[in-house]
Amino acid sequence: MTLETRKPNGEIVTGSVRLIHSAGMHARPAVKLTKLAKKFQAQISIRAADANEWINAKSVSKIMALRAARDSIIEIEASGEDAAAAVAALIDLIAADFPDGGQ
């Protein structure tokens, strides 16, 4: 799991985390991820590592269509005021295997 600020002025924050969920990124994790992403003002994009396209983390239909398999690396990129908190929170969610409740 990594978390770094790519630009010195803090414009873009990136992170990556291994998807440990047994079934990969299916419907229920997708809903949890989207709901959490929406709590932040930052623009947040994610992709399965090495995929060409970045996906808006706040779009539940796009996240559900991500089809990331178990053990794939998920990359997260965010920009905006609370970008660092957003990336950290999403990494926590994925690393903790999408626990129920909380958030």
Partner 1 sequence: MNDTVGIVIVSHSRDIAKGTADMVRQMVGSEVKVAFCGGDPDGGLGTNVPLIIEAIDKAWSPKGVAILVDLGGAETNSEMAVEMLQPERRNLVVVCNAPIVEGAVMAATEAAGGSSLEQVRAVAEELSAD
Which listed residue (3, 5, 24, 26) is catalytic? Answer: 26
Site for partner 1 (CB under 8 A): which residue of 60, 85, 88, 95? 60
26 is catalytic: yes
Q: Is 28 in the site for partner 1 (CB under 8 A)?
A: yes
Residue with token string 């291994």: 18
Q: Is 16 in the site for partner 1 (CB under 8 A)?
A: no
**Run of H or E residues at 73:** strand 73-79
Among 79, 98, 82, smallest CA distance to 17 is for: 98
Q: Is 34 in the site for partner 1 (CB under 8 A)?
A: yes
Q: Is 45 in the site for partner 1 (CB under 8 A)?
A: no
Please tell me the count of residues contacting partner 1 according to CB under 8 A. 12
Reduced to 3 states (helix: H, G, I; strand: E, B; else coil), residue 4 is strand
Pairing of strands 55-56, 12-18: unpaired
Catalytic residues: 26
